[in-house]
Amino acid sequence: MRQALILTNALLAIFFAAAFAYTFIGKDQLAITARDFATLKTAQYAAPLVDHAEDAVRSNIASMLASKAQKQAVLDEIAEYRAEPEAYIAELTGKESAPELRFPENALSRKIGGWKVQIRSYFDEVVGRITSDLRIFTATNLVAALVALGLVLAARTRELKPLLKLSAMLLVATLLSLYAFIDSFSFYQYLFNWHMGWSYPALVSLSYLYIVMKTYRHQG
Question: In whole angstroms, what is the distance from residue 121 CA to residue 116 CA?
Answer: 9
With a CB cutoff of 8 Å and minimum separation 6, the contacts of 179 are none
Between the two ends of the chain, the Cα-to-Cα distance in Å is 23
Rounded to an integer, the average pLDDT of 91-104 is 68
Work out whether the CA dihedral 40, 44, 47, 50 comes out positive or negative. negative
- Kindly report the three-state secondary structure assignment for every residue of 45-59: HHHHHHHHHHHHHCC
> Cα–Cα–Cα angle for 168, 170, 171, nearest 5°?
65
With a CB cutoff of 8 Å and minimum separation 6, the contacts of 177 are 200, 203, 204, 207
Question: Chain-wide mean pLDDT for the chain?
Answer: 80
Rounded to an integer, the average pLDDT of 166-182 is 77
CA atoms lying within 13 Å on the CB side of residue 78: 24
- What's the pTM value of the predicted model, to 2 decimals? 0.70
Rounded to an integer, the average pLDDT of 63-79 is 82
- Greater confidence (122 vs 29) lies with 122
Rounded to an integer, the average pLDDT of 93-109 is 63
Neighbours of 108 (CB within 10 A): 18
- Greater confidence (200 vs 14) lies with 14
Question: Does pLDDT of 82 surpass 90?
Answer: yes
- What does the pLDDT read at residue 188? 47
Instruction: Please report, for residues 48, 90, 193, the alpha-carbon distance to residue 115 in angstroms, rounded to integers and kept in the order given.
Output: 9, 15, 22
Rounded to an integer, the average pLDDT of 139-168 is 85
Residue 73: pLDDT band by 50, 70, 90 thresholds? confident
Residue type, 53: A
